[in-house]
Structure 1
Amino acid sequence: MPDDTAAQDTSHRTGSARSRAAGAVAFARRWAAELVETSHVPMSLGQVEEFLLPLTELIAAALESDPFDAEPVVEVGDDLVAMHFTGEGVLRSTLALVTGELPELLCLPGGPDLVARAGAVCGVLADAYAHALRQRTLDEQETIKRAVLKARDAMEQRLRASEERFRTVFTTSAVGIGIVSTDWYILDANESLLDILGYERDELSRTFAGELVHPDDISGLADLYGELVRGQRRHFTTEKRLLRSNGDQVWAHMVVSLVRDERGEPDYHVVMVEDVSELHLLQEWLRHQAVHDRLTGLPNRAQFVSRVESAAGRAGPTTRIALCHLGIDGFKVLNNGLGHDVGDGVLRETALRLRSLVPESRGLVARTGGDEFGILLERTSDTAEVVDLVERALRAVAEPIRTGGHEVSVSASAGVVERRAAGADPAELLRDAALTLHWAKTDGRAQWTLFDAERSRRDRDRLELAATIPTALRNGEFFVAYQPQVRLADGVVVGVDALARWDHPVLGELGAERFLDLAEQTGSAVPLGWRLLGEACAQATEWRRTLPGPALAVNVRLGLRHWRDPELIGGIRSVLADSGLDAERLRLEVPAAAVLAEDGDLPETLEVLGAIGVRVVLTGLRPGHVDRPALELLPVHGWKVSRVPAETAEERGLAELVALAHKADRVVVADGVATEEHATRLRDLGVDVAQGPHYGEPGHAADIEELLADR
């Protein structure tokens, strides 16, 4: 059987590799078809495909790299330029294919990570392509300059040949070339430069070159020219805006060289111009995408954080600032129920509504996460102003949304932080807003909650406590405290309730109510449960050996995660075997609400435990609020109520529960018995077993031994 599995794995990997290779070939073929339409190179379509296949593999490897590294894609940009794939649209079509078709053909898993990787790969590819073009421009410029100098310095009989060579480069170059006098009038221009600027030759001749430069870029160009004339540089490279004949702007990559005469005096300039408007727009688009959410068009979390930092940094001593962290309630249910297209439509409409509420001069609305939005409001007057905005935002989100053929109504919750901006820590502002949103959702949803410093402190303390549970577990800081359980009919101790305690090195002894819920949240509940269960069972076995009278039962509370552990039954068998405890002396507590609401394997688990002799006790029952038929059907030993009834109606409910339990051959245990009066009332109501301060507080094993010795 293992050989078959290995063969299947090998076959699967081979199939995946073949599928990927086929995808790479298909992409190279598609890419080649695009490039031959935009560039004329002396290669057949098949040769172009062969040339592009290894470049495809480079891009694919970068997308799949771990850790992610886009730098190898630099070779792709270099090779495209080296093979003269430099026609208009080459870069645009290449990037469109990389972001659009390559992931699908290679069967790459989608998601935000793939989108981010594809964007980074495209950025590196675009930069490499632009750099290679610039380098080629520099190389051509140097060739021209050498040709010019050679023409001037050559002997008269070679002058004509030299000038012819220059003229060939001048007239055939795809780069715009202009010969400009030292007083910046255009003496000559090739066809490429005329095309870039949109002029006829006679229109451009003797035109002052400064008139072709955007007014905002003149001063920077003049500074570079001064360095050139003073001999501080042989040439300079820059990107400036030029003006076409119709007034349109052209982003131009320019290389300007100064040619000197035989005396070393400035003679004329050679200016090489390449239209990089498309590349400039692409770079602008990439910069925009880096700080905006693609789905909604809103600023993303990175821009939101930057804006918050900026607002806090420039705030005056009395300036106030507000953050609202807003989340759509139940968005996952909406997505799963109606589909992601409907969910996307809800997010887009929500973004539009929120953006309309905040003037750009006062703040910013951003999408900060999947179904979450951030609102920054600057220069607030007081909390009331912010509350008004938040309430309007919640009402706006709650308005019905029509999308994807559905009318959808959603609600939202919001966490609000408003405070003095000067000296505020942006990271703390963002953290407090996110925490306050969590409170709003926890407290009931469809509402807003204002940040509370004291509640935040308590939450931080709980989180810090939760973070130390795994270490405390390794250090053996948890132990079992035992509380006696007494049979009400005769007052005999029949068992003990094993309760988890934490001997915290700073806070002292902590009760289970301080940390069990945290253990459930951090994933430590199961290992903690096994440790406490093992200790309690071992102690019960020791008491059976050393104490006179009937053996004590031991009651252990397990967390819900532990009850759902697939290793539960096997683990309990092992604990019983290791400790030597009889199965019928072990009582395991399980929340009744969890069992009654469970549609998985928990009821079956209870049956298996009963079959091996372990007794199960349902906890958390509220007399008068129980599903009687469901309770009767559950295979459990008993039911446990957590408090003594305080009113006549509660007593009636408990009496009914006791009658139902005894009819079903179950026992009823009451917790929280504090007085003899409590014990008498419970005994009169028919309760079987009780525990609480009246019979003894939770203590060490020695305390139980002393209690039994006294009785």
Structure 2
Amino acid sequence: MGSWELAQRWADALDGVVAPTLNRSQIEEMLAALCIGLIDAARGGEDPDIARRSARMLVAANYRDPAAVSRSVRVICDDLVTAAADGPTDPAVPEIRDRAIGLAADFAAGFTAALRAAALAEQEATLAAVLAAAQEAESNRVLSEARFEAVFDGAMVGIGTVDMTGQVVNCNARMAEMLGQTPETMPGRTVADILGPQNLNHAFVELQRMVAGQSDSFRTETEHLHDDGEVTVIDLSMSAVRDACGDIRFLIGVAVDVTERKKLADRLWHDANHDALTGLPNRPHLFGKLAETEPPVGVCYLDLDGFKEINDLWGHTIGDRVLRIVADRLRDTVRAADATAARIGGDEFLVLVENCSGQEQLGALADELMAELTAPLEVDGHMLAVGVSIGAAYFDEMPSTVDELVHAADAAMYRRKHEARRDPAR
């Protein structure tokens, strides 16, 4: 599969997500150019920004729906591997797949950043227009008030004004909706009364500082709890409007409902830090956690035995289901031990035990993992079995690098394999 065919599959995956600014031919040409760089990166190329750049170009082309991310990630994790590999027997397939997972994570992170930048640019433009209209209203009231009202009422973002006593002067329908109110019920009431005690958070503190004349502006992200329990996440900007003498006349706020964007960012973070097949934390996420963990810690390195034969005999679809079952058993077992399990390679897993009490606890966990993972499993009516090799390492002092920690557990696993071959009764 070449870059052009990969681009066509990508375009097919994105079809129907949104109404992009480009036609189909232009979309394929854009994606084909990106696919050349992605294929090179999957093969070990040195363009570290290709995945994030691809995400930015999709956002610029108006692909802003969450489905564009999930469909693109599947293309990167599956079709890109096929395009970059020299056939299914290419020995480099595991490395290409790992690079593709990293590219998918970078793409998800780049999409979130590009989406946020686009939203913030729109918000800043609206705030600038509102402030300009408000300031002009003071010098040319008749003309500017009409212009201000047009911006005020027709804006897709929430806008409200507050006087220097903390009372709401007016607000548009969008702002009232975000706060669970109506434009008619808010004017004349204090901000504290409208928000209620449950929402008097850091944003309210900053507003009080502005009313007291201690600051001219602030910007923050805050959560608003509605009476029905629903939570709206709001990106709020407040600025002071001064008259010709420099005195503050009133405060104006612009709010953007970023609830869906926050949910998308949370989902993208999860997707970027978890294995797409099993749902377990992935290698970068676990290694990052290892780097921040305080001793004492225990680590178990697990490698499935006989998994290649299952793939060869029954196919990768059955193999994938086996991995998911193994991951479920692994997840259930470590949950009881208050540990973290991750998939770090094709059939390789790692378990991190924080605040580990010692070798005895680690050995007991390894025995439990061995018993759970080697139990027969049923897939599509077939009773299958996989073996597992486990190496455990305990550290009361952390090594200088995470790689040393993982290597110690890996080495322990291979020692146990070697001893098992010498003594089959073990």
Residue of structure 2 aligned with 1:418, choices 394, 411, 417: 394
TM norm structure 1: 0.50
In structure 2, how many angstroms separate the alpha carbons of the residues matched to 1:265 and 1:286? 45
Partner of 1:368: 344
Partner of 2:318: 342
Residue correspondence of structure 1 range 320-335 to structure 2 within 5 A: 320-335=296-311
Partner of 1:119: 105
Residue of structure 1 aligned with 2:126, choices 140, 155, 158: 140
Contact 1:62 1:72 in 2 (8 A): no
**How far is 1:261 from its partner?**
3.1
Which of the two has higher C-alpha Rg?
1
Contact 1:401 1:408 in 2 (8 A): yes
Residue correspondence of structure 1 range 634-645 to structure 2 within 5 A: none
In structure 1, how many angstroms separate the alpha carbons of the residues matched to 2:292 and 2:327? 23
Contact 1:362 1:379 in 2 (8 A): no
SS of the aligned residue for 1:375 comes to: strand
Contact 2:237 2:255 in 1 (8 A): yes
In structure 2, how many angstroms separate the alpha carbons of the residues matched to 1:127 and 1:418? 39
> Does 2:209 correspond to 1:226?
yes
> Does 2:57 correspond to 1:76?
yes
Contact 1:23 1:105 in 2 (8 A): no
Partner of 1:176: 158
Residue of structure 2 aligned with 1:209, choices 174, 191, 195: 191
Per-residue deviation, residues 112-137 of structure 1 (Å, max 9, x unmatched) = 43343233223223312321221221
Change (3 A) 1:321 1:94: closer
Partner of 2:72: 98
Contact 1:77 1:126 in 2 (8 A): no
> Which is bigger in relative contact order (C-alpha 8 A, separation at least 6)?
2
**AA partner of residue 324 (structure 1):** C
Change (3 A) 1:149 1:51: farther
Partner of 2:172: 190
Residue of structure 1 aligned with 2:46, choices 41, 45, 67: 67
Contact 2:176 2:183 in 1 (8 A): yes
Per-residue deviation, residues 623-676 of structure 1 (Å, max 9, x unmatched) = xxxxxxxxxxxxxxxxxxxxxxxxxxxxxxxxxxxxxxxxxxxxxxxxxxxxxx
> Does 2:148 correspond to 1:162?
no
In structure 2, how many angstroms separate the alpha carbons of the residues matched to 1:428 and 1:104? 34
Change (3 A) 1:60 1:205: farther
Residue of structure 1 aligned with 2:261, choices 235, 259, 279: 279
Contact 2:341 2:351 in 1 (8 A): yes
Contact 1:196 1:244 in 2 (8 A): no
The number of residue pairs the alignment matches comes to 405
> Does 2:250 correspond to 1:268?
yes
**How far is 1:361 from its partner?**
7.1
**How far is 1:20 from its partner?**
5.9
**How far is 1:164 from its partner?**
0.8
In structure 2, how many angstroms separate the alpha carbons of the residues matched to 1:445 and 1:339? 28
Greater CA drift, 117-126 or 95-104: 95-104
Change (3 A) 1:101 1:184: farther
**How far is 1:306 from its partner?**
3.6
SS of the aligned residue for 2:65 comes to: helix
Partner of 2:94: none
Partner of 1:293: 275
Contact 2:219 2:235 in 1 (8 A): yes
Greater CA drift, 366-375 or 390-399: 366-375
**How far is 1:52 from its partner?**
5.0
**AA partner of residue 336 (structure 1):** D
**AA partner of residue 129 (structure 1):** L
In structure 2, how many angstroms separate the alpha carbons of the residues matched to 1:194 and 1:61? 48
In structure 2, how many angstroms separate the alpha carbons of the residues matched to 1:280 and 1:447? 55
Percent sequence identity over aligned pairs:
23
> Does 2:225 correspond to 1:243?
yes
Contact 1:354 1:393 in 2 (8 A): yes
Partner of 2:90: none
Contact 1:197 1:245 in 2 (8 A): no
Per-residue deviation, residues 259-307 of structure 1 (Å, max 9, x unmatched) = 1234322222221111112221222122223332222222223333344
Partner of 1:432: 408
**AA partner of residue 260 (structure 1):** R
> Does 2:375 correspond to 1:399?
yes
Per-residue deviation, residues 124-157 of structure 1 (Å, max 9, x unmatched) = 2331232122122112211111111111112xxx
Residue of structure 2 aligned with 1:384, choices 350, 353, 360: 360
Per-residue deviation, residues 396-435 of structure 1 (Å, max 9, x unmatched) = 112111123321122212112235x135555433211101
In structure 1, how many angstroms separate the alpha carbons of the residues matched to 2:319 and 2:70? 26
SS of the aligned residue for 1:165 comes to: helix
Q: Which runs of 4+ in 1 moved over 6 A?
A: 445-448
Residue of structure 2 aligned with 1:152, choices 124, 138, 161: 138
TM norm structure 2: 0.80
**AA partner of residue 258 (structure 2):** V
Per-residue deviation, residues 435-469 of structure 1 (Å, max 9, x unmatched) = 11112223336999x9xxxxxxxxxxxxxxxxxxx
SS of the aligned residue for 1:251 comes to: strand
Contact 1:182 1:268 in 2 (8 A): yes
**How far is 1:195 from its partner?**
3.6
Change (3 A) 1:97 1:384: closer
**AA partner of residue 388 (structure 1):** A
SS of the aligned residue for 2:341 comes to: strand
Change (3 A) 1:377 1:116: closer
RMSD of Structure 2 on Structure 1 (CA): 3.7
**How far is 1:23 from its partner?**
5.5
Residue correspondence of structure 1 range 543-554 to structure 2 within 5 A: none
**AA partner of residue 34 (structure 1):** V
> Does 2:20 correspond to 1:34?
no
Per-residue deviation, residues 89-119 of structure 1 (Å, max 9, x unmatched) = 9432432443346875998448343343233
Question: For structure 2, which runs of at least 5 residues remain unmatched after alignment?
Answer: 86-96
Residue correspondence of structure 1 range 679-694 to structure 2 within 5 A: none
Change (3 A) 1:74 1:333: closer
**How far is 1:22 from its partner?**
5.5
